[in-house]
Structure 1
Amino acid sequence: MAGAVLRGDEDLLTGRWGAIVMLAGVLSGCGNGGSLETFGGPTMGSTYSIKYVRHAGLPAPNAVQAQVEKILAEVDQQLSTYRSDSDIERFNDLPANRCQKMPAPILKLIRVGEQLSEQSEGAYDLTVEPLLNLWGFGPQAREEKVPTAQALADVRQRVGYQHLRIDRDQLCKDAAVEVDFNSIAAGYAVDTIAAKLEAMGIHDYLAEATGELKASGKKLDGSPWKIALEEPRDDQQVAQKIIAVDGYGLSTSGDYRNYFQQDGRRYSHTFDARTGAPVSHTLASVTVINPSALMADGLSTLLLILGPERGWDYAEKHDIGAFFVIRADTGFVTRANQAFERLSAGKTE
């Protein structure tokens, strides 16, 4: 994670994939008479940040932060694959043909994952954790390397969303599958935080966790929250497109920072569950804008898996606002569909 880069009276923060940055005025005491409050901290192996305009009668930052961190702690307890006592890791440790009572948020996310799996014909799948570990990207990974054909065949027996089912308040499995919510957990957390802020009377805010974000209302000076989409480069941050966001979640998935190379070939951490292998197309990153940060999170991963042609067609068919960054011989080519321009209010710089 790169450090903050100051730009005049604005600050620039990297997102989870280094592809989304948030530009929010940091001056207070101007415009509508309120103040801009900011706080953040560590979460989910990364960071979170909250900015909101505080008007008379709204809660102080310490009270808001306490509520936000309570949400993040609950998300971690329920969804983390990096702690053995989380709800989902206790389920992952179960053998085949077992069930476990689960909190409502986990069952909700399982249903979202099933929807995305069915719509992508199985390319997107929440049960890819054994594959991530095998290839060296998961929480139990040993080393980054191309597995043997036999090892891959063995692990693929433990992958497949169809092996999961919900029985009332229980999650059940008929194979020894393991669930990984990393493609939607942060988006879910952001939506939950946004709902809490709204319930506390805060309607002008930018909430971000591990790079997934949602913005609502206006900044202190009455201008919209601005989000910069960064060119996917390892060496520096380059703002490629700046959009105004109000009432939408935004998520970018990319394959250009978490990968390894072997025998001259590049292997990313983005997997097509149908093949059990990392994707190998030219799509470097996808940004999705959606009223739900959860759906933006999941859909950006889904489109990245599908690739530059099938992903684009999928976004067009389902009216998904998407911004594609595609590798080309001369560098990167960008492509934004009409839904993306419409949902970002066409306000670009």
Structure 2
Amino acid sequence: MISAASLIVLRSFILCLALLALCACDHASPQTDLQGSAMGTSFVVSVVDFPAELDADVLRQDILDALGSLDKLASTWRDDSELSALNMALSVDWVAVSAPFCDLLERSLEISRITKGAFDPTVGPLVNLWGFGPAGAITEPPTDGDIVAAQHRVGFDLLEVDCNEQLVRKDVPDLYVDLSGWAKGHAVDLVAGLLESRGIDNYMAEIGGELRIRGHNRNGRKWAIGIEAPSTSERVPHAVVHVTDTSVATSGDYRNYFEHDGQRYSHTIDPRTGRPVTHKLAAVTVVNASAAFADAMATALLVLGPDDGPELARELGLAAYFLVRDASGIQEITTPDFDTLSTQ
């Protein structure tokens, strides 16, 4: 499994609307839904016009096998994963790794560089310290001294990769890498590639709230994806976006948290401060061709907050949607690229 948070609540929840409830269509195409549990969360793959030559049970097992392989590669919850082996190796020497694992690390570090550390795969010690990792929940915030000590083990520039040689090196021996901000999106991309390799052209693949969509839904239209309102008490869509041939990922601060002395501490940790974010940005949705990129960028933009987040998204030309709390409720901020999408 990738993240403890996903066992309790989806960090990035996107409500997938059933279009038959929105539109009365007499000639809908058949849809096959494949469901299961993997990586500490659930998945749903909806295929329109399932190819007659394929067996749905076989395809479902192939999906489970692919996700199981990724889990064994990048889980912090499994002692036998390649990631756990790296974390347990108290060495600053170059270590040989597999090509897929090296690629995961390299691409996550690229997001770190783009976001100047707002996304950081080495944030694990802080996530654990604040009670949101495998070490388990806490009931009160850690001390300033504990935070400073954990910060000495955090910093994406402390991790070096050489994927030409399939080598990785930690600059401090107890560096702890956590790919949970990237892996679910990567899993979606992995499943999408599997579907397309089998000749499936119209599908929606969802894993733990992250989505990849291709072609059309059963009514021959773009897929309608509901973006959840940032509420701790109910799950209702705040907006609906109609998309195809893309991915959608959301990161929010409103479901996984703890309270102490009247203050709420979000699971969204800013790697640069060592503390949960305290700004008014409640959720960020990113639409991008890559679910992994959208997943990581949604996390980074949420960390950056309601001012720096939209600024970076516009600078990078991202389709991004921000929900910000204020005295009157929830305000929306969108980027020009998001405004080109069909919403309601």
Structure 1 length normalisation: TM-score?
0.90
Tell me which amino acid in the other structure corresponds to 2:286.
V
Give the match for residue 281 of structure 1. Answer: 279
- How has the CA–CA distance of structure 1 residues 333 and 19 changed in structure 2, closer, same or farther, with 3 Å as cutoff? farther
Could you tell me how far apart the structure 2 residues matched to 1:19 and 1:84 are? 28
How far apart, CA to CA, are the structure 1 residues paired with 2:244 and 2:278?
35
1:150 equivalent in structure 2: 145
> Which amino acid in 2 is paired with 1:229?
I
CA apart distance, 1:124? 1.7
Inter-partner Cα distance in structure 1 for 2:333 and 2:107: 27
Distance in 2, Cα, partners of 1:151 & 1:170? 31
Give 1:244's aligned residue: 242
For the residue of structure 1 that corresponds to 2:67, the secondary structure is helix
Q: How far is the alpha carbon of 1:59 from its aligned partner?
A: 1.3
* Distance change >3 Å, CA 100–CA 141, structure 1 → 2: farther
Superposed CA deviations along residues 53-95 of structure 1, whole A, max 9, x for unmatched, are: 1355441211221221111101111111111111101111111
RMSD: 1.9
1:261 and 1:17 map into 2 onto residues whose CA distance is: 17
Indicate the residue corresponding to 1:159 in structure 2.
154
Structure ranking higher in helix proportion:
2
Structure 1 residues 159-238: aligned runs within 5 Å: 159-167=154-162, 168-175=165-172, 176-238=174-236
Within 2, Cα distance between the matches of 1:241 and 1:26?
Answer: 18
Structure 2 distance, partners of 1:309, 1:111, is: 28
Q: Take 2:155 and 2:103, find their aligned partners in 1: how far apart are those partners?
A: 18
SS in 2 for 1:184: helix
Indicate how the Cα distance of structure 1 residues 147 and 324 shifts in structure 2: closer, same or farther if over 3 A, else same. same
* 3-state secondary structure, aligned to 2:213: strand
Query: Structure 1 pair 67/112, CA: closer, same or farther in 2 (3 Å)?
Result: same
Correspondences of 1:1-349 after superposition (within 5 Å): 16-17=10-11, 19-25=13-19, 31=27, 35-141=30-136, 143-167=138-162, 168-175=165-172, 176-342=174-340, 344=341, 347-349=342-344
Cα deviation per residue 1:184-238 (whole Å; 9 max; x = unaligned)?
1010010011111111000100001011010100112212211001111111122
* SS of aligned partner of 2:255: coil
Match of 1:7 in 2: none
Tell me which residue corresponds to 2:4: none
Question: In structure 2, the residue corresponding to 1:38 is in which secondary structure?
Answer: strand
- TM-score w.r.t. length of structure 2: 0.91
Answer with 162-171 or 69-78: which moved more. Answer: 162-171
Q: Shift of the alpha carbon at 1:335?
A: 2.0
- Contact 2:13-2:210 within 8 A present in 1 as well: no
Once residues 298 and 137 of structure 2 are traced to their aligned partners in structure 1, the CA distance between those partners, rounded to angstroms, is 28
C-alpha distance in 1 between matches for 2:87 and 2:222: 43
Match of 2:3 in 1: none
1:77 is paired with a residue whose SS is helix
Q: Partner amino acid for 1:327?
A: R
Cα distance in 1, alignment partners of residues 51 and 256 from structure 2: 44
Residue pair 1:207, 1:214 contacting (<8 A) in 2 also: yes
Residue 5 of structure 2 corresponds to which residue in structure 1? Answer: none
Q: Note the residue ranges of structure 2 that are not aligned, 5 or more in a row.
A: 1-8
In the aligned structure 2, how far is the partner of 1:96 from the partner of 1:150? 25
Q: Residue type matched to 1:22 in 2?
A: C
Runs of 4+ in 1 over 6 A off after TM superposition: none
Contact 2:201 2:214 in 1 (8 A): yes
Give the number of equivalent residue pairs. Answer: 330
The 8 Å contact of residues 135 and 141 in structure 1, kept in 2 or not, is answered as no
Amino acid at match of 1:23: L
